[in-house]
Chain A
Amino acid sequence: DSTDAITVETSAPFKSHIVDPPSRSATTSARELLSFFRDMSLMRRAEIAADSLYKAKLIRGFCHLYDGQEAVAVGMEAAVTRADAIITAYRDHCAYLARGGDLVAAFAELMGRRDGCSRGKGGSMHFYKRDANFFGGHGIVGAQVPLGCGIAFAQRYRKEGTVTFDLYGDGAANQGQLFEALNMAALWKLPVILVCENNHYGMGTAEWRASKSPAYYKRGDYVPGLKVDGMDVLAVKQACKFAKDHVLENGPIILEMDTYRYHGHSMSDPGSTYRTRGEIAGIRQERDPIERVRKLILAHDFATAQELKDMEKEIRKQVDAAIAKAKESPMPDPSELFTNVYVNDCGLEVSRPHLVLRIGPRIAELEWAKMNK
């Protein structure tokens, strides 16, 4: 049966700070491993496709890709429910997909189309899925950390028994407001897991050049921490399960995920001036999260190499179809310029003479009348 439990050792023991670490023996199944393979491959393919769309000038502005880090999004999702909340920074495409986000809506958002998950008004850095408790998508490095603690505050206030996974990078780990929020989270025992996705470079600055102590799992001082191999989806899942139970009882914990981004920081960064190509190739060779799962599946005979290749081909088709559909989505209606500034439009300034004169003619009369109601 594909759901029969098997036990797999994580790649390495967890390192811990003032807490007893969970066991290295992770429980999984054929079905789960195949879904991990599928989900991570889909994310990988989607990000590679976004790279092409960006180069074809169909995506504008900033675009930060997640390829290499997929095991964090997927492993975390496997340990929680959709009632638990997730908030992250601007490298957010895959967090959205992991929460059940729609592939067409993701690409439509990247291209600024009306079927985008934020109707084309957010862009690459501002994906949300409120109905699955995904709170974005934040562009100011580190600001999402107190916000995530606030979501956890609300969960505790309402006695929901749910938790918040609050993600940030090794660059954000030096922001002062992280320590401010962590202090309050610990004082008030908020059910929040601070997940430091340590991909070892904050933009182009290597961690050791920015952090006197790059042992991020220890930097909560009075807050427990675990260091996790973020390239091993089973280790991520094991750590996140442990962390969820821990924070509901004891308040915050830090999980440092040792991970790696293959792409540069954003599309303007070739990613090769501050690190060597050899370093990237070495990680791909030895630690790639998808290849690790592929090996596990093959070792346990849960699928053949050909079946996995077929699955990847299928995923490629799925991504291509989603892009084609997203491309068909029109640009947002001009009237969308003025929607959602305020919840009930109270305070909206659309009828000011300077605006009417400047852009009024570009908006159909009917729409304008509707906005000025």
Chain B
Amino acid sequence: KEMTVRDALNSALDEEMSADPSVFLMGEEVGEYQGAYKISKGLLDKYGPDRVLDTPITEAGFTGIGVGAAYQGLRPIVEFMTFNFSMQAIDHIINSAAKSNYMSAGQISVPIVFRGPNGAAAGVGAQHSQCYAAWYAHVPGLKVLTPYSAEDARGLLKAAIRDPDPVIFLENELLYGESFPVSAEVLDSSFCLPIGKAKIEREGKDVTITTYSKMVGYALQAAEILSKEGISAEVINLRSIRPLDRAAINASVRKTNRLVTVEEGFPQHGIGAEICMSVVEESFEYLDAPIERIAGADVPMPYAANLERMAVPQVDDIVRAVKRVCYRAVPMAATA
């Protein structure tokens, strides 16, 4: 059986709202409009306006209200129409949500989920195309989840809603309509994935590729191409950016001795940089080649199609990077 990411998210919301009356959804256009991207379709009819709240366009205000409701013990799900708009509310996410349990020595926990599409969509320009994984992953007190498939979307969203801490749940607009095979287990209402565990999406022995969200699909395509050329790539779908599954990453690198990190976001101080440091700290002596990073270009997202395509990593970029670290192509250092 197959399921779209959109239906996976919708069913996860539905099941968790049905299971726990303290769960509610708030955000712009989540109710009568059925969600800007239809993730909340049908929920207003089923749960009513007390539990599915259309907010005015006031991110700082409604995010603060969501966090306050979580202080009192409700389990809010705050939808950002896109994570770009969460910048209006980042103070509440960091100062009001992430730090309260610590500052109060455990008196005020904040069981809240902030979710919505993140990263580059297509042709929407600089202010609507940015990945916030590294931003939020920087902050202790937050958890940051990045689903790729329908299985991820269902299992991780349900885990996020049940979690006692604030969770940033980064979806990808371009994946909403994609279908993935799902097992009966995944479709069961009790299905839930552990937070902090990566998934080895494809096993391999020559090189490790770490990635998340939409880029998992690109890495799998790259691995397929590489296999035809005799390179066996292991693709790690991180699923959780914070906590980061350092054990899985390092175990894989110790097996393959080579690493390419792939992310869509800006390169500086990004997810790849953190993974690289983790491998340097724990598995340096296992490396047979310098680590390579594939990331978005260090520029605001351009509008023109050709420029946008260059700004975002492509399957080819991953293929070439893997060949370099496997010494099947001229290493990057030698071309400088």
Residue numbers of A with Cβ under 8 A of B are 85, 87, 118-119, 121-122, 126, 128-130, 135-140, 143, 145-155, 157-158, 176-177, 179-181, 183-184, 187-188, 339-344, 346-349, 352-354
A150:B71 contact, CB within 8 angstroms: yes
In the complex, 15 of the A-B residue pairs with CB atoms within 8 angstroms, ordered by the A residue number, are A126-B103, A135-B108, A137-B103, A143-B95, A146-B60, A147-B65, A147-B92, A150-B67, A153-B69, A154-B72, A154-B74, A157-B74, A341-B101, A343-B101, A343-B109
Does chain A have a CB within 8 A of B333? no
A353:B65 contact, CB within 8 angstroms: no
Complex CA–CA separation, A122 to B102 (angstroms) = 8
Additional pairs, 17, CB under 8 Å, beyond known A181-B65, A347-B196, A348-B243: A87-B68, A126-B103, A128-B107, A136-B100, A136-B103, A146-B62, A147-B65, A147-B68, A148-B68, A150-B64, A150-B70, A154-B68, A158-B74, A177-B60, A342-B143, A343-B165, A347-B242
Complex CA–CA separation, A145 to B64 (angstroms) = 8
Complex CA–CA separation, A241 to B223 (angstroms) = 69
Residue of A nearest to B143 (CB): A347
A347:B60 contact, CB within 8 angstroms: no
Does chain A have a CB within 8 A of B63? yes
Complex CA–CA separation, A342 to B196 (angstroms) = 13
Does chain A have a CB within 8 A of B230? no
- Shortest distance in angstroms between A368's beta carbon and chain B's nearest beta carbon? 18
Given A130-B108, A153-B69, A157-B50, A184–B102 Cβ distance below 8 Å? no
Cβ proximity bits B174-202 to A, threshold 8 Å, 1 near / 0 not: 00000000000000000000011000000
Complex CA–CA separation, A339 to B74 (angstroms) = 23
For window 67-93 of chain B, which residues contact chain A by CB distance below 8 Å? 67-74, 91-92
Does chain A have a CB within 8 A of B58? yes
Residue of A nearest to B110 (CB): A343
- Shortest distance in angstroms between A265's beta carbon and chain B's nearest beta carbon? 20
B281:A353 contact, CB within 8 angstroms: yes
Complex CA–CA separation, A155 to B69 (angstroms) = 8
Complex CA–CA separation, A176 to B66 (angstroms) = 17
- Shortest distance in angstroms between A340's beta carbon and chain B's nearest beta carbon? 4
Complex CA–CA separation, A149 to B76 (angstroms) = 14
Complex CA–CA separation, A339 to B105 (angstroms) = 8
- Shortest distance in angstroms between A174's beta carbon and chain B's nearest beta carbon? 14
Complex CA–CA separation, A342 to B61 (angstroms) = 25
A176:B102 contact, CB within 8 angstroms: no
B105:A121 contact, CB within 8 angstroms: yes
Does chain A have a CB within 8 A of B132? no
Residue of A nearest to B140 (CB): A341
Most-contacted residue by chain A among B55, B68, B100, B281 (CB, 10 A) = B68
B243:A349 contact, CB within 8 angstroms: yes
The contact of B71 among A135, A181, A187, A343, by CB within 8 Å, is A135
Q: How many residues on the B side are at the interface (Cβ–Cβ under 8 A)?
A: 46
| Chain B residues with CB under 8 A of A128 | 103-104, 107-108
Given A140-B95, A150-B67, A340-B105, A85–B72 Cβ distance below 8 Å? yes
Complex CA–CA separation, A150 to B106 (angstroms) = 19
Cβ proximity bits B235-259 to A, threshold 8 Å, 1 near / 0 not: 0000000110000000000000000
B92:A146 contact, CB within 8 angstroms: yes
Interface of A is mostly: mixed
Residue of B nearest to A118 (CB): B105
| Chain A residues with CB under 8 A of B195 | 346-347
Complex CA–CA separation, A146 to B55 (angstroms) = 13
Most-contacted residue by chain B among A154, A344, A354 (CB, 10 A) = A154
| Chain A residues with CB under 8 A of B95 | 139-140, 143
Complex CA–CA separation, A118 to B103 (angstroms) = 7
Does chain A have a CB within 8 A of B141? yes
A177:B72 contact, CB within 8 angstroms: no
Residue of A nearest to B244 (CB): A349
- Shortest distance in angstroms between B281's beta carbon and chain A's nearest beta carbon? 4
Given A119-B105, A151-B72, A341-B102, A143–B92 Cβ distance below 8 Å? yes
Complex CA–CA separation, A137 to B92 (angstroms) = 14
Given A150-B68, A344-B164, A143–B91 Cβ distance below 8 Å? yes
Does chain A have a CB within 8 A of B24? yes
- Shortest distance in angstroms between A186's beta carbon and chain B's nearest beta carbon? 11
Given A181-B61, A184-B58, A353-B282, A342–B108 Cβ distance below 8 Å? no
Complex CA–CA separation, A187 to B61 (angstroms) = 13
Cβ proximity bits B30-69 to A, threshold 8 Å, 1 near / 0 not: 0000000000000000000010010110101111111111
B92:A340 contact, CB within 8 angstroms: no
Given A140-B91, A183-B61, A342–B104 Cβ distance below 8 Å? no
B63:A146 contact, CB within 8 angstroms: yes
Complex CA–CA separation, A40 to B277 (angstroms) = 55
Complex CA–CA separation, A59 to B218 (angstroms) = 55
Does chain A have a CB within 8 A of B314? no
- Shortest distance in angstroms between B139's beta carbon and chain A's nearest beta carbon? 10
B196:A346 contact, CB within 8 angstroms: yes
Does chain A have a CB within 8 A of B221? no
A341:B141 contact, CB within 8 angstroms: yes
Given A126-B104, A343-B164, A150–B65 Cβ distance below 8 Å? yes
The contact of B281 among A87, A344, A354, by CB within 8 Å, is A354
Complex CA–CA separation, A184 to B27 (angstroms) = 12
| Chain B residues with CB under 8 A of A342 | 101, 141, 143, 164-165
- Shortest distance in angstroms between B43's beta carbon and chain A's nearest beta carbon? 16
- Shortest distance in angstroms between B67's beta carbon and chain A's nearest beta carbon? 6
| Chain B residues with CB under 8 A of A143 | 64, 91-92, 95-96
The contact of A154 among B60, B73, B164, by CB within 8 Å, is B73
Residue of B nearest to A150 (CB): B68
The contact of B69 among A87, A154, A180, by CB within 8 Å, is A154
- Shortest distance in angstroms between B37's beta carbon and chain A's nearest beta carbon? 23
Complex CA–CA separation, A187 to B62 (angstroms) = 12
